[in-house]
A and B are shown apart, each in its own frame.
Chain A
């Protein structure tokens, strides 16, 4: 069984650019959640997708957007990058969207905005 994978591992962008991060869910999981983790902080919830529909969003501006595909893989898009967007972006998949469902995290994508 393959775990959660994310690509790319590292990425460097400049302010104002756009970025797309990708996540492949664990087999059989229909729910994907995205988190942003700044250096030295705990992860912050960005949004969650359940069966291709957004199912909750944290306190992030609309320039953070996402997609979930029929195979339940997912993308996180960030437009108009700002310096503060530099962080580790984590994707987590789960069997469902209930609060009792364990989330399985990928290794993350390290984004640096210059």
Chain B
């Protein structure tokens, strides 16, 4: 399984944009890039995923480098509720099994 590397922690101010980086230099051509986050005292929740093109949804945007060796999760206006651990996960497109392989993630703190 391809590995991802994320910073251990990041800080942001409320209502400012946040860019959470993820390196995945060994990504294969058919791996999807998924992001989940885990709010305090809760189970992880899905944020967004993409393959090659940048993606937007109501929660965030995902910017994927042209060579796909890195990606960035963008929260356009951080709120206190966005304080969580963010996990960048690679999932093979065609292999069955469906497991999520979590790393350490990035702990995001948001200051008022």
| A and B co-occur in one complex | yes
Interface residues of A (CB under 8 A from B): 4, 31, 33, 35, 41-45, 48, 55-56, 58, 90, 92, 94, 96-108
A99, B45: Cβ atoms closer than 8 Å: no
CB proximity of B42 to chain A, nearest CB, Å: 6
B101 lies within 8 A of chain A by Cβ: yes
B91 lies within 8 A of chain A by Cβ: yes
A102, B46: Cβ atoms closer than 8 Å: yes
Tell me which residues across on chain B come within 8 A of A31, comparing CB atoms. Answer: 98
Interface string of B77-111 (1 = CB under 8 A from A): 00000000101000111111111111111000000
B interface size (C-beta, 8 A): 25
A90 with B43: in contact, given A42-B87, A99-B93 (CB under 8 Å)?
yes
Tell me which residues across on chain A come within 8 A of B87, comparing CB atoms. Answer: 42
Tell me which residues across on chain B come within 8 A of A96, comparing CB atoms. Answer: 98
Report the bound CA distance from A108 to B39 in whole Å: 12
Report the bound CA distance from A41 to B38 in whole Å: 12
Report the bound CA distance from A4 to B43 in whole Å: 10
B99, A105: Cβ atoms closer than 8 Å: no
A42, B102: Cβ atoms closer than 8 Å: yes
Tell me which residues across on chain A come within 8 A of B92, comparing CB atoms. Answer: 99
A99 with B102: in contact, given A42-B87, A105-B44, A108-B43 (CB under 8 Å)?
no
B103, A100: Cβ atoms closer than 8 Å: no
Contact partner of B99 (CB less than 8 A), chosen from A33, A100, A108, is A33
B99, A58: Cβ atoms closer than 8 Å: yes
B43, A99: Cβ atoms closer than 8 Å: no
A33, B105: Cβ atoms closer than 8 Å: no
Contact partner of A48 (CB less than 8 A), chosen from B42, B98, B104, is B98
Contact partner of A105 (CB less than 8 A), chosen from B45, B94, B98, is B45
